[in-house]
Amino acid sequence: MSSGRGTGRTTAAGTGLAARILLLGSLWTAAEAQLTGVLDDCLCDIESIEDFNTYKIFPKIQKLQERDYFRYYKSKVPVGIKAGSSNKYSKRPNNTKVLEDCEQANKLGAINSTLSNQSKEAFIDWARYDDSQDHFCELDDERSPDAQYVDLLLNPERYTGYKGPSAWRVWNSIYEENCFKPRSVYRPLNPLAPSRGEDDGESFYTWLEGLCLEKRVFYKLISGLHVSINLHLCANYLLEETWGKPRWGHNVKEFIHRFDPIETKGEGPRRLKNLYFLYLIELRALSKVAPYFERSIVDLYTGNVQEDAESKALLLDIFRDTKSFPMHFDEKSMFAGDKKGAKSLKEEFRLHFKNISRIMDCVGCDKCRLWGKLQTQGLGTALKILFSEKEIQSLPENSPSKGFQLTRQEIVALINAFGRLSTSIKELQNFKVLLQHTR
Binding residues for FAD: 158, 160, 171, 223, 226, 258
Q: Which of 42, 234, 362, 368 is catalytic?
A: 368
**CA–CA distance, 158 with 106 (Å, rounded to integer):** 13
- How distant is the alpha carbon of residue 15 from its chain centre? 35
**CA–CA distance, 294 with 297 (Å, rounded to integer):** 9
234 flagged as catalytic: no
Tell me the binding residues.
Answer: 158, 160, 171, 223, 226, 258
SS3 per-residue string spanning the chain: CHHHHHHHHHHHHHHHHHHHHHHHHHHHHHHHHHCCCECCCCCCEHHHHHHHHHHHHHHHHHHHHCCHHHHEEEEECCHHHHCCCCCCCCCCCCCHHHHHHHHHHHHHCCCCCCCCHHHHHHHHHHHHHHHHCCCCCCCCHHHCCCEEEEEHHHCCCCCCCCCCHHHHHHHHHHHHHHCCCCCCCCCCCCCCCCCCCCCCCHHHHHHHHCCCHHHHHHHHHHHHHHHHHHHHHHHCEEEEEECCEEEEECCHHHHHHHHCCCCCCCHHHHHHHHHHHHHHHHHHHHHHHHHHHHCCCCCCCCCCHHHHHHHHHHHHHHHHHHHHCCCCCCHHHCCCCCHHHHHHHHHHHHHHHHHHHHHHCCCCCHHHHHHHHHHHHHHHHHHHHHCCHHHHHCCCCCCCCCCCCCCHHHHHHHHHHHHHHHHHHHHHHHHHHHHHHCC
179 flagged as catalytic: no
Of 105, 107, 112, 110, nearest to 163 (Cα)? Answer: 105
**CA–CA distance, 42 with 413 (Å, rounded to integer):** 25
Q: Which of 44, 234, 362, 365 is catalytic?
A: 365
Buried-state track 183-196, b at ≥16 Cβ within 10 A, e below 16 = eeebbbebeeeeee
Catalytic residue numbers read: 365, 368
